[in-house]
Amino acid sequence: MSNKLAVSFEFFPPKAGDAEIAFWQTLRRLEMMKPDFVSVTYGAGGTTRDRTLNTVSRIVKETGLAPAAHLTCVGASKDEVNAVVRDFWNAGVRHILALRGDPPAGVGTRFSPHPDGYRNAADLVRGIREIANFQVSVSAYPEKHPESVSIEEDLAFLADKADHGATHAITQFFFHNSFYLRLRDRIAARGINIKLLPGILPITNFAKAQEFAAKCGAHIPPAMTARFAGLDKDPETRNLMAAMVAAEQVQALEREGVDAFHFYTLNRADLVYPICRMIGVGAPAEEQAA
């Protein structure tokens, strides 16, 4: 396998206490993988705004990592969102993952723009780029956004985001590589100028992965279900299986010419670290040379 693969990692901002201590231990361990960037999520409706800002600020000050701050426009005016963008810039952040966002729990199930807010993710990308020269990434859905009518509608939205200044799109996780490859081909066919990063979800709990998949419309292959059957009560074997399955997925995509991968870490290093080693990322220099 190649040792030139690029990786990036997603984290959520930890709460104070033991979770925060564990987060920084995880971050430090995965820093050894030399990721292109690490992204930090932004809770529904901006519910983790301060924690997200504090986390990316510390990453800038205390590590050699390049943070990408998630940002949503749901439930906030343009002035409120723009203030957050400026806070990120002043903290040393130069990369934002611009997302439309979902309403907080109990506020409805569908997005409704704030009367004085950004209309959608493309509008948010434009606003960010007008404030400062951020690198802006966006989301993409290999199996169609749950609210979209079709893949074609998704592609139109993605083209709009690229036209407004987005340079990278990170996909929702998927387990059928064919969905990612189909999306990549359609982006190329439409001439959309954006780099598509596959989002990889290591399975820390198969039952929860099934819940996540149901919410975002991701299909789980029957063969994968069979491989994980009964393993949630056997964490050691499950972790071995999860690392192997994710590494196999990455290696299959690499054979299709994919050279960069974004991992959803769930703030854990116990799976992502060995997966990276399995795909040739983060090995000591002498091992890479060999």
Could you tell me the pTM of the whole model? 0.92
d(CA 15, CA 104): 18
What span, in angstroms and rounded, lies between the C-alpha atoms of 5 and 280? 8
Strand partners, 135: 95
- Domains annotated for the chain, with CATH where assigned, are 6-289 (3.20.20.220)
Say whether 211 is catalytic.
no
Helix locations, the chain, DSSP H? 18-31, 49-62, 78-90, 121-131, 151-163, 177-190, 206-216, 222-228, 235-254, 272-278, 285-289
Where do we find the tokens 């939205």? 157
Output the pLDDT for position 46. Answer: 66
Candidates 148, 152, 140; CA nearest to 189 is: 152
**Segment 28-55, tens digit of pLDDT:** 999 999 999 999 999 766 677 899 999 9
Distance CA 168, CA 135 (A): 9
| Token code pair at residue 31 | 């820093």
Tens of pLDDT, residue by residue over 111-157, are: 667 778 899 999 999 999 999 999 999 999 999 888 888 999 999 99
Mean pLDDT is lowest, of 91-100, 145-154, 232-241, 249-258, for 145-154
Which residues, 6+ apart, have CB-to-CB distance to 97 below 8 Å? 39, 68, 69, 70, 71, 136, 137, 138, 139, 170
